[in-house]
Structures are given as structure tokens and as C-alpha cells.
Amino acid sequence: MAGKPKLHYTKGRGKMESIRWLLAAAGVEFEEEFIETKEDLEKLRNDGVLLFQQVPMVEIDGMRMVQTRAILSYIAAKYNLYGKDLKERAWIDMYVEGTTDLMGMIMYLPFQPADTKEKNLALIIERATTRYFPVYEKALKDHGQDYLVGNKLSWADVHLLEAILMVEECKPDVLSAFPLLQAFKGRISNIPTIKKFLQPGSQRKPPTDEKFVAVVRKIFNI
């Protein structure tokens, strides 16, 4: 199983998207094997390659890794995006958990009933602007560096940029009160590996639409 990492997931963002982001930021080429039907998922389960019967699953370094957090922390450590010591790693973890919470709210929005979507969208914007983004704005101000932790790119920066772009898809001017985050977005977006991932035709997936929601419901019986 040497060679490029192979990602097993649906053709959408979901929990795999942050893994795609991190590999791309590290400059790692990867292959994708898409789960397009219920049968595709059942085959993986029956073959015994999914530790907990769940995806995402990533084949990397001779392992079949599952559980998003485990996969992400492995990639971050392998490609030197996880800080220089335990304290930096702790800060990266805290920042990543914050953006994970925020992105989770957005990820599940398309799967919610129409009558609750508007209320939940308003909650996402409120949480982003009062709970999450102020933390990162202050972190950048206090730290006085281009990056959240240390003075080099880390998993926390990649995750935050992904979160910012997801929230901007919900509300384009969401960063209007956060000048340091606006500058951060510009800087991180222009890192060559990330800039490449943000170009049309990359392996980045589009926002979840109703058509994709229907496919996911069918595959996962939800």
C-alpha cells in the first residue's frame, strides 16, 4: 500500500474535506476512491477494512486509518504541521477543536428540515462572530505573528482558513469586523500549495447541495 494516500469517502465534503485540505496544504498528492452507492459502503464493511464500520478511511503508510481526528493528527505530525513541542501542540488542538465545532454546524445544515434551516443559519453566523472568530482575531493580535501558533504554518491555520471560507459561503461579509482575520485569510490563501487547492479543478469539493444530500441519505440510510 505504498505510494499516494488513498481516500475512501463520498464525492462531497463531509468529514473528509479537512483531510483533503491538510494533505493539499502539505503538498501531498492523493488519490480518491469514491463511495457512490450503498453497495460500495457495504463492500468496504464486508472486506473488514473499516475498523468501526465507518468512513472516512485513508490508506496511508501501510495503514487503513479511520476516525477523522486520528487521521488529521497523523498527517499534521507527519508533515511538520503540529508545532515544535507539547505546548504548541496543545494550542493547535484547542484552535482546531474550535473550528471543528463551527464547521460541524455548517456541515449538518443542508441535512436539516427546511423550517429549521433559517434559524440554524442565523445561529451559525452568531456563533462565528461572537464565540469563534473573536478568539482567533485576539490570538493573532496577541501572538503578533502571521500564524496562530509558533511562527510557522500549522494545522490550526489550515483548519481556520477552511472554516472562514465555509462561513463566508453562508455570509460573504462575515469578516467585516475582523481585520486581522481578513489579512490572515489573504496570507494563508496565497501559500502556494493552498493557492493551488483553491483553484478550479482541484480535489476540493463544492458546497453540499440538495442533490448530494439525497445521495448521502441513500448511501448511509439516513
Q: pLDDT tens-digit profile of 2-19?
A: 589 999 999 999 999 999
Note the pLDDT of residue 122: 93
**pLDDT of res. 1:** 43
Tell me if 175 sits within 8 A of 133, measured CB to CB.
yes
Dihedral sign, Cα of residue 155, residue 156, residue 159, residue 165: negative
Q: At 116, is the secondary structure helix, strand, or coil?
A: helix
**Whole-number average pLDDT of the chain:** 95
Beta strands in 46-110 (DSSP E): 57-60, 63-66
Cell numbers describing residue 36: 457512490
| pTM of model > 0.85 | yes
- The per-residue pLDDT for 2 is 56
Q: Which residues pair with 60 in a beta bridge?
A: 63
Q: Give residue 22's Cα distance to chain centre.
A: 8
pLDDT in tens, 149-172: 999 999 999 999 999 999 999 999
Structural domains in the chain plus CATH codes: 4-77+196-210 (3.40.30.10), 84-190 (1.20.1050.10)
